[in-house]
Structures are given as C-alpha cells and as structure tokens.
Amino acid sequence: MGIELDIRPIKAWLPNINNPLVISGPCSLETEEQTLETARLLAKDPRVFIFRGGVWKPRTRPGSFEGVGSIGLKWLQMVKQETGLPVGTEVANAQHTEEALKAGLDVIWIGARSTASPFVVQEIADVVKGTDAVVMVKNPVNPDVQLWIGALERLNQAGIKNLVGIHRGFTPFRETKYRNHPNWSTFIELRRLLPNLPVICDPSHIAGKREYLFEISQKAFDMGMDGLMIESHRDPSCALSDKDQQVTPAELAKILDKLVIRNATIENKQFENQLELLRSRIDALDTELMEVLSSRMEIAREIGRYKKENNVTALQISRWTELMNNRIALGEKLNLNKTFVQILFQLIHEDSVRMQTEIMDEE
C-alpha cells in the first residue's frame, strides 16, 4: 500500500528557521522559577527555536514524579511571553490535548508509549482535527515503522499537515550502552516511505546519559535528520526526572558548537560526477555479490538433493558452527564488522536450509 501524506515543511510553520530545528528545555517542569530560569538561559542561544517542558509525565512505574500537571501550561505561556520562544509539551490523551490547545501551545507531541496505542493517537487526532496545530510524533517503543506511520496517518486524516517525526530510540531487550536502542534502520525506512516528513532526533532518550548526547546528535545529522530535541535543566543534578540525561543550557551550547551540520545534497558538478563514479563501482560489485550468492545457493540446492537421496538432515550444526567461526575470523581480516558478518551469514544459512528442506519435502 502506497503512503501519501500531505505534510508541510518546518519552514511553513516556523518561518524564521535558518538552521536545524533545536528544541530544548527540561524533561519535567518543576517550578515556575526553574521553568523561567532555564528558558531565559536557552533563549540567549539563537540556535534554540522551541522551548519544551514536560507537564504530564508518563513514568514506567508508579511512585516517581509524574509532572506538575496543568499549572505547567501557565508557566509555558509565561516563557513564551517573556522570551518569545514557541513552546510545547507532550500530550497523552484527549484532555491533555484540549488543555494544551486552549493554553495556546505552539507544539504538542505524542510520546513513544502513546504512539504505540492507536486508540490514544485517534483520541488525540479527534481533538486536533480542524486546527493548524503542530504535532510531533515520537516513534513507538518498538521498532515498528508501520505503527509510527499509522499514527502520522491518523493525524493527517484529521487535517494536520504540520507534522514532525521524533526518533527517540526503542526499548532494548537487553542491557545496552544506551538507554534506548537507536536502531537507525527504522529511521531509514521511515524516510524511504515518507521522504517529505521532517524528522528530528531525541538524543536524550536514546542516550540516557549526557555524555553520549554529542555522538548521537552527530550521527543524526550524518543521517540527514532535521533537528534535535535535547533536554536541558538549569541544574540537572536536582532534576526530578531523568537527571542523568539532562544538560545545562551552557552544556547544550557546547554540544551545538561541536556538531557538524551536513547538507542532504549539494549543487556541485564535480562532486556529483565523482559520486556517480563511485556509485557505479558499487553497482558493479553488488551485481557480482548477487551472482556469487546465486552460485552459492545453487550448490546448497545440490547438497539438498544429495542429502535427500541419502536421507540426511538439512541442518548440520557442526558444519554451521565451524563455518560461522571461520567467516567471522575472515571478516576481521577483511575489516568487516563482526555483527554484520554474523547477521549476513545467519540470513544466508537460514535461506540455504529453507531451500534444502523444500527440496526434501517436494513430492
């Protein structure tokens, strides 16, 4: 099924944007003073375009700080009035959305847990219907690009064209360096399916720790994302939520100073010619790669027929283990990433066994 969404670029609703979209502010608004002080510091940096602040906080388990609630909307209004920065918060149900719109917030976003629930997304879409709200949609907690797109579609069907995707990583199923797995391939697939959708990265939730913010942000720009949402707090050590991943506005400025912003493409004949030359070499190598794979599969089929005649199983674990170890060692010598080699050969082996069992089970 083709996907066609009517999406406006960021510039359509934020005309003064001349750089990647940077959104920053506290994970949670805690007090009027903390909100305003953080906002005043951020407003001094012309690279920050929108102030964010969590008001209703979805927490994994009960008992931790769940946000100040509606009073925070008033503080956001004060930020807007004093600094001129557009303001936004996360909404997780119809009531939040109604209150946020009524308070005149410039941006709302749907969190990862809410995106995972089509009922919640629909209830929010029903409230924003017919408005010119800017709605950002975080990826669902699981790397399901269709679910992410489904949420965007529901909003688009409600007439919302000012849409932005936020890549905040995916719940890991084991202990990892980062709090949430970046799984860049999900972003690549989203961009392939919806090339017009602006997508920004939320390195704070991917990282879980401030020391990783720079490397993740740079990667996001290397991949061509359109901006960042980075949590900041006047004093992260006292933050009531996610204190390890927040930075001070001064630290944010240092991160932004170091980041290299890349262009999606450039108008330069020499660059284009050189790129084309290198790409034609990749095309030729890919053709060879496919031919080699095809020959390999042909031999596997022959082995399958031979095993069938001799009534021997398709799967041969000792051969497979030995082969995998050997390929990983070879990969290291050839400067290939170990995980890449493992996954590649798992796929090849899986299909080789599948084909052999098909041959064996043919009438």
Ligand X SMILES: C=C(O[C@@H]1C=C(C(=O)O)C=C[C@H]1O)C(=O)O
In whole angstroms, the minimum distance from the beta carbon of 12 to ligand X comes to: 52
Q: Which residues bind ligand X (CB under 6 A)?
A: 300, 303, 314-316, 319-320, 323, 349, 352-353, 356
- For ligand X, the closer CB: 276 or 361: 361
> What is the Rg, in whole angstroms, of the alpha carbon atoms belonging to the chain?
25
> Who contacts 228 (Cβ-Cβ below 8 Å, separation ≥6)?
20, 21, 22, 23, 200, 201, 202, 203, 217, 220
- For ligand X, the closer CB: 110 or 314: 314
Closest CA to 232 of 74, 37, 99, 20: 37
Tokens 């204190």 found at:
243
The tokens describing 108, both together, are: 């709302």
Which residue is nearest to ligand X, using beta carbons?
A: 352
- For ligand X, the closer CB: 181 or 301: 301
In whole angstroms, the minimum distance from the beta carbon of 299 to ligand X comes to: 7
In whole angstroms, the minimum distance from the beta carbon of 136 to ligand X comes to: 45
In whole angstroms, the minimum distance from the beta carbon of 253 to ligand X comes to: 54
In whole angstroms, the minimum distance from the beta carbon of 302 to ligand X comes to: 9
In whole angstroms, the minimum distance from the beta carbon of 187 to ligand X comes to: 32
- For ligand X, the closer CB: 12 or 315: 315
DSSP letters along 245-258, please?
A: G-B-HHHHHHHHHH
Residues 177/206, Cβ–Cβ less than 8 Å: no
- For ligand X, the closer CB: 209 or 319: 319
* Long-range contacts from 34-40, C-beta under 8 angstroms, 24+ separation: 34/233, 34/234, 35/72, 35/75, 35/76, 35/78, 35/79, 36/75, 36/78, 36/79, 36/82, 37/234, 38/232, 38/233, 38/234, 38/249, 39/79, 39/82, 39/83, 39/85, 40/82, 40/83
- For ligand X, the closer CB: 43 or 323: 323
Closest CA to 257 of 288, 214, 223: 214
Tokens 């050839």 found at:
334
In whole angstroms, the minimum distance from the beta carbon of 304 to ligand X comes to: 7
- For ligand X, the closer CB: 5 or 353: 353
